[in-house]
Structure 1
Amino acid sequence: MSRLSTHVLDTALGRPAAGVPVTLAVLASGAWTELAAEVTDADGRARSLGPDAVPPGRYRFVFDTAAYFAATGQVGFHPEVVVVFDVVADEHYHVPLLLSPFAYSTYRGS
């Protein structure tokens, strides 16, 4: 199981956001390096995004919300959502995204 995961929920439609392209990158030597890319499943989850072991460091998820909004017939304000976070311990990091056409929220989940 990946040590990093995400779950996207479309709060405007009241359902999981299936089909959101997501990339994972790590910051190393001042530059971002992409580690993985996935598209959220029917439950809005990216379950295998990232490695089994994640060393401490700065990571980011980039959500291609423009592609999702276009696919669902919505007009969105944010064409992408970038969530940068620090991994400080050897444990699972779950980063959900609550999404609507004009707002988003994120937090560290379980």
Structure 2
Amino acid sequence: MGKLTTHVLDTANGRPGAGIKVELYALDGDARRALKTVTTNHDGRCDAPLLEAEALVAGEYELVFHAGAYFAALGANVPEPRFVDRVVLRFGIADAAAHYHVPLLVSPWSYSTYRGS
């Protein structure tokens, strides 16, 4: 059974990114369709997969992580406008039967991602 999951690691403070708003969109060319909005838990993860089973279909998706608001709430000393604010990750799912894990490693100054397991 395929599924899409994510988690956030706060690399500036060496801990999970708890309380970060994450939006999921399905893409069709330039059009975006909102699928889900969640907030990461104490471990920087979502309490359930973002998509699974028949809800996960092959195609293009976008995750939007509200990292700037997270760091501002922590009291991080960052200028306005923020260097890293909303992190937008666009990715494709080719095999809807597979597990796609899309983590975000983020600080107020940088971010990275990879396809995890």
TM-score, normalization by structure 2: 0.86
Distance verdict in 2 for CA 1:39–1:58, change over 3 Å: same
Structure 2, unaligned stretches of length 5 or more?
Answer: none
Q: Deviations over 1:54-95 (max 9, x none)?
A: 110000100011210111111252111001110000211100
Of the two, which has the highest radius of gyration?
2
> Aligned with 1:86: secondary structure?
strand
Q: Does 1:17 align with 2:17?
A: yes
Of 70, 78, 85, the match for 2:84: 78
- 1:88 aligns with 94
Cα separation, 1, equivalents of 2:65 and 2:46: 11
Equivalences for residues 1-110 of structure 1 within 5 A: 3-28=3-28, 30-53=30-53, 54-74=56-76, 75=78, 76-89=82-95, 90-110=97-117
- Counting matched residue pairs gives 110
Q: Does the aligned pair in 1 maintain the 2:39–2:46 contact within 8 Å? A: yes
Structure 1, unaligned stretches of length 5 or more?
Answer: none
Distance verdict in 2 for CA 1:49–1:21, change over 3 Å: farther
Runs of 4+ aligned structure 1 residues displaced above 6 Å come to none
State the 1:29 CA deviation: 5.5
